[in-house]
Structure 1
């Protein structure tokens, strides 16, 4: 038996209300294989089925837009219509048939949305403040004839309720076990948290407490309605993706900002309102560039504040010995390890890791295309990848509802 097979990675653990058989989580991987109406497709159903065949596994859905109002990407899924909810229900029922579990990631883009798509829907770009994340982004918005609109206090309060509606569609409509609030990587909740993108003067801006207010209101609104144990949240304290400050470049240390948020979550946990998990990405990997980061920062400090389940991600599968993975998952009894990219090309990733089998390299050039090729064309260990002329690769993407 391999060293990793004997590690905590393949031992059971309770997350929220569900009992997992292993600690290898399928992470959100935006793939743009939905219909033009943002309805999940049959190709997506197959992908989720294949990656949850180990009963008792957890998969977190790709980022799912809560409303077109806050920006869309072509091919991304939604959770605001009956058809979208019905499509997700079929996928989640299939995962449950495997004996596995689903956390639905709730996504709002804000200022990083595609300007021309917002223009086509006669909507501005929305953000905490009228601050573009780059000069190029400002130029693209102006070229599209779209203004960046700072949400009013009342609009932020409505945004909180829009998250609740999306959570209801996920949990009660589609049958998800949990929802995950995407508060990372420069998207709308992250824009509220960081002072570089939030220069508000109302109750949602200024101090760390005020800049954290929006995300705490979302967590509380969903938690009080559906149970805190059915809510997870994703943070990337050290990421500089999409204009966010990172590490030494930040005027306020991420450990201060996110330490406050974690302390608030732990304070709620002390009164019986513990979140299902915190998901974070390691700063040693710049995942969007497929390369190692140069920072000496780390996420070990998270455990000093937050005493619940932590899902750690970021380049754990690039080292064939999995030494860092084993070290981190065995360091305590509340760590799970997540993978996104490796799951794209290894539907049987859990089995391969456990047996010490070689992994198939992922192919980034097919991550964000809109066909089945490069999506459901990777096989289990020992099975040759399907070619571009195969029947499976040429199948159209068919909406599930």
Structure 2
């Protein structure tokens, strides 16, 4: 595991190690989307990771999916994130803010304007979502018009600029886990017949246009993107053509010189190897359910430049030091993952405690 602790260059920043904290929703923002009072402490505690990728952060009112998630499109949001980025930088860390538009994976009860969700097509995901009144079926979304698609792209651009104003080292565009960008990519959630649907090139168009807009605003060296090929979260079924769509998409994005590509790998090893050949820039790999013994395998095999971890980072703010010392890990409290106060958020003990 020695190579986990080596420096690596990502975009225009040097990471002090090759371990990243994966983006994870915590639902502890204020009702207006401003990060909560404890957020700076939460992220600052974990600044020993080479890179922190923040929880999914909506670029607009329409982009919100879950209760109490943060935004990055108002002056209040920017001021809240400044506290976080300052704390992380003061602790010697680096942080990218993840821009996440949930698309159809939303409920009117969870958004500030209580409007119907938007998506590439009026197709419900067929899953439930937590609201203040408990679990509810996600309603059918409204199909975006072509002019509205341009407006959403502009929202990503504006949010990226706000993230940099807030002191972030960059942004990660969330194109995974069944949210808006993957909804455009997947055949089962995109039944459009215009420039944004049908062929692989058309279904990839939205992801490429969002990425180009963000690059134009903040630079390629501050822009990453995340995909989850063949992931089935939130009602996505990419089918037999799914890998072909990512072959095309990753090939096109590779030309843009992004800071990194972040892949959630669900066990498709041959395709991960293929992605490594297609992508000539830094590659981050996240493997849900991996064992600690296998943490450095993708680095050892030359597949990944950085590996990202999730739950271990939640329960172990000093995960890096514990790994170096081969120390025991705290167990995560599943009951405090979403919402609440400091319990299960900033009160996990450090080794010296």
What band does the TM-score fall into relative to the shorter chain? Answer: over 0.9
> Structure 2 matches for 1:276-355, cutoff 5 A?
276-284=259-267, 299-315=272-288, 318-319=291-292, 322=293, 324-332=294-302, 335-355=305-325
8 Å contact kept, 1:75–1:370? no
Per-residue deviation, 1:76: 0.5
Moved more, 256-265 or 67-76: 67-76
Q: Whole-Å Cα distance in 2 between the matches of residues 239 and 350 of structure 1? A: 28
Does 1:22 find its partner at 2:17?
A: yes
**Partners of 1:353 and 1:280 in 2: CA distance:** 23
Aligned residues: 348
Aligned 8 A contact 1:33 1:75 in 2? yes
SS of 1:278's equivalent in the other structure is strand
The question of whether the paired residues in 2 share the 8 Å contact of 1:34 and 1:75 is answered with yes
In the alignment, which of 166, 181, 187 is matched to residue 195 of structure 1?
A: 187
Which whole-Å CA distance do the structure 1 matches of 2:97 and 2:160 have between them? 8
The counterpart of 2:119, out of the listed 116, 122, 127, is: 127
What pairs up with 1:28-43 in 2 under 5 angstroms?
28-43=23-38
State the match for 1:392 in structure 2: none
The one of 252, 274, 284 aligned to 1:264: 252
C-alpha displacement at 1:300, in angstroms? 2.0
C-alpha distance after superposition, 1:128-186 (max 9, x if no partner): 0011111768xx9xx99965210000000111001000001001x20111100001001
220, 223, 241: which is aligned to 2:212? 220
Over the residues paired in the alignment, what is the CA RMSD in angstroms?
2.2
Q: Report the Cα distance in structure 1 between the residues aligned to 2:283 and 2:342, rounded to whole angstroms.
A: 33
Query: Match of 2:240?
Result: 251
Deviations 1:26-50 (A, max 9, x none): 1111101111111112211111111
Match 1:239 to one of 231, 242, 247: 231
Correspondence 1:94 to 2:82 = no
How far did 1:333 drift? 8.0
**What's the CA shift for 1:277?**
0.6
Q: Aligned match of 1:45 in 40, 44, 49?
A: 40
- Spell out, residue by residue over 1:325-379, the C-alpha distance to the aligned partner (whole angstroms, 9 max, x if none): 2221122285211011111110000111112111112222211132221111101
Shift of 1:305: 0.6
Deviation at 1:229, TM superposition (A): 1.2
Q: Are the equivalent residues in 2 in contact too, given 1:283–1:298 (CA < 8 A)?
A: no
The aligned counterpart of 1:70 is 63
Q: Distance in 2 between matches of 1:243 and 1:91?
A: 33
Query: Taking CA–CA contacts closer than 8 Å with sequence separation of 6 or more, which of the two structures ends up with the larger relative contact order?
Result: 1
SS in 2 for 1:89: helix
Question: C-alpha offsets along residues 281-305 of structure 1, whole Å, 9 cap, x if unaligned?
Answer: 1213xxxxxxxxxx77652221111
User: Which secondary structure state, in structure 1, belongs to the residue aligned with residue 273 of structure 2?
Assistant: coil
Q: Which runs of 5 or more residues in structure 2 are unaligned?
A: none
* SS of equivalent to 2:221: helix
When normalised by structure 2's length, the TM-score is 0.93
Among 108, 115, 129, the residue aligned to 1:115: 108
Offset of residue 255 of structure 1: 2.1
Q: Could you say which structure has the larger radius of gyration?
A: 1
1:25–1:58 Cα contact (<8 Å) kept: yes
Decide whether aligned partners of structure 1 residues 30 and 352 sit closer, same or farther in structure 2, where only a CA change above 3 A counts. Answer: same
CA distance in 1, matches of 2:24, 2:137: 28
**Equivalent residue for 2:258?**
275
